[in-house]
Structure 1
Amino acid sequence: MKAVLATDLSAASEATIENETCLECLGRIGIEEIHLVTVVPSNVHAGMPGIDFEKRRRKSIRKYERVIETAGFNVEVHVVRGTPHRRIRGIAETIGASLTVVGSRGKSPLENRVIGSTARNLARTTETPLIVNRIEREADEPSVLRQHLFQRILYATDFSENAREAFETFSYLRHATQEATLVHVETPKDPEPTADDGSDSRLSELAAKLEEWDIETRNEVRQGDPADEILAVEDAVDPTTILVGSRGHSRLRRLLLGSVSEDLVARANGNVMLVPPA
């Protein structure tokens, strides 16, 4: 399996790359090859006097390349120019990556209301499963907030086809997962369940599959706003990563309203893994 690890060479990116536990987690789920990607933004002009941005980035990224090689991975480095989320997404699709990893310090409440960072733009557009690795927000020398990416998973489902696809990632995450909390949030728009297909029953079926892999599970059925309730469960059980399917929306809806998955990327305390539609 291949993974793209995106970096802007900031202290937050360095925290993701140099965290041995995070790299070990990637190895456990079957990642063997890591493509280290850094993007020189389009608005940084190559002709600016006395500055060769590509050369400087290649020099800076070498230490990260050595860290990843020392951890036992094959490494390929990409220093490219363009819009960061588009180039990262394009490289992931081109190489057939199974996973994209990007660090994020999160956003202030005001910033959450506007078109956001590379992580949020990737959340909107990625066609590859995406991990947003949460980094300390205020620290000068930040570290990752949850070191074990897949040890304790909070899986949120609306029982859609996309949610089912997100659940299927347990087929490889299970090699690094010890505990899972399965959450469904009922809303007023949900149809009335029959006795055979109630939320508790459907979560129990999913839990039984995980228990076959010796993953300790618990179920939560809640009522209310999906993002709010999922984040309330996160506060209660302290998972290392929230796993959720990511549905596409129209361009207007993406820009103005967002989605549950985008809310989680913006507001979660820990890591978020998004699985896009097939």
Structure 2
Amino acid sequence: MKAVVATDLSAASEATIQSETCLACIGRIGIEEIHLVTVVPSNVHAGMPGIDFEKRRRRGLERYSRVIEDAGFDVESHVVRGTPHRRIRGIAETIGASLTIVGSRGQSPLENRVIGSTARNLARTTVTPLLVNRVEREAEDPEVLREHLFRRMLFATDFSENADRAFDSFSYLRGATKEATLVHVETPKDPGLADDDPEDRLDELAGQLEEWGIETRTDVRQGDPADEILAAEEQYRPTTILVGSRGHSRLRRLLLGSVSEDLVARANGNVMLVPPASV
């Protein structure tokens, strides 16, 4: 399996790369090859003569590559020019990546505030599973907040086809997952669930995980989906929230897309988004 790791070479975006625990977790789910990607926007030289950003970034990626190679991965580096989220997404598609990883905070005002806005744009458009790795917001030398990326998962489901696809991610995450909390948030207009008991449906999913040796609990809530998922995060303290990036139907696509974007923006820990299958 291959992963794309996007970086703007800021202190925040290098946190995953510098964390031996995070790299071990990535390896534990079957990732063997990591593609480091940094994007130089087309207009980055405007008003900044004499600064070779591409050369500086290549030097930065060389340092990161050594760290990742020492952790046992094959590494390729890409310094590209264009719109960050489009180029990252394009490389992930081209190489057949199983996962894209991006930090949740950028801190390089001179060159490019790539990571904060790019995480949100990728949340809207990614065609591969996306892991948004949360780092400390205020620290000058930030660290990741949840080093064991997949140890304690919170899976939020609306029982849609895309939610089922997100649940299928446990087929490879189980190598690193010890505990899972399965959450469904009931809303006044839950289509297609009138004749189904959500607790029974969660119990069925929990049974699958427990067969894999994952300790599992279930939680059915009522209210606003994003607010309740974040309340469950506060209660259970998972390392990562796992959710499909789309839901029941095209009519609800904007609403459910905004839920995943809310989680990317507001969650305290990591967020993993699984997009719909490519048509």
State the TM-score, normalizing by the size of structure 1: 0.91
Q: CA distance change for structure 1 residues 239 and 257 in 2, over 3 Å: closer, same or farther?
A: closer
Q: Measure, in 2, the Cα distance between the counterparts of 1:49 and 1:156.
A: 48
Is the partner of 1:55 in helix, strand or coil? helix
Deviation of 1:41 after TM superposition, in Å, equals 1.3
- Cα distance in 2 for partners of 1:160, 1:20 equals 36
Deviation at 1:48, TM superposition (A): 5.1
Counterpart residue number, 1:245:
244
Q: Offset of 1:89 from its aligned partner?
A: 0.4
Instruction: Indicate if the aligned counterparts of 2:245 and 2:256 stay in contact, CA closer than 8 A.
Output: no
Q: Distance in 2 between matches of 1:14 and 1:274?
A: 21
Q: Distance in 1 between matches of 2:41 and 2:7?
A: 12
Change (3 A) 1:71 1:257: closer
Alignment root-mean-square deviation, CA: 2.0
Separation in 2, partners of 1:277, 1:131: 15
Shift of residue 258, structure 1, vs aligned partner = 5.4
Measure, in 2, the Cα distance between the counterparts of 1:166 and 1:61: 31
Determine the structure 2 residue equivalent to 1:29.
Answer: 29
Structure 2: give runs of 5+ residues left out of the alignment: 107-115
Answering whether residue 127 of structure 2 is matched by residue 127 of structure 1, we say yes
The CA distance in 1 between the partners of 2:231 and 2:51, in whole Å, is 48
**Distance apart, 1:46 and its partner CA:** 8.2
1:219 partner letter: T
2:198 aligned partner, one-letter code: S
Structure 2 counterpart of 1:137, one-letter code: R
Partner of 1:259: 258
Q: For 1:224-266, what per-residue CA distance to the aligned partner results, in whole angstroms no more than 9, with x for missing partners? A: 000000000000000000000002898xx86x99511001000
Shift >2 Å, 4+ stretches:
45-49, 191-194
Residue 137 (str. 1) matches residue 143 (str. 2): no
Shift in Å at residue 105 of structure 1? 3.0
* 1:24-50 superposed Cα distances (whole Å, 9 cap, x missing partner): 001000000000000011221389532
Identity %: 80
Matched, 1:63 2:63: yes
Aligned 8 A contact 2:13 2:105 in 1: no
SS at match of 1:242: strand
C-alpha contact 2:246 2:256 (8 A) present in aligned 1: no
Larger deviation: 130-139 or 57-66?
57-66
Assess, with a 3 A threshold, how the Cα gap between structure 1 residues 78 and 47 changes in structure 2: closer, same or farther.
farther
Superposition map of 1:113-262 within 5 A: 117-191=117-191, 193-194=194-195, 197-247=196-246, 259-262=258-261
Q: 1:237–1:82: structure 2 CA closer, same or farther, 3 Å change rule?
A: same
Kept in 2: contact 1:22–1:149 (CA 8 A):
yes
- TM (normalized to structure 2)? 0.90
Q: Which amino acid aligns with 1:96?
A: G
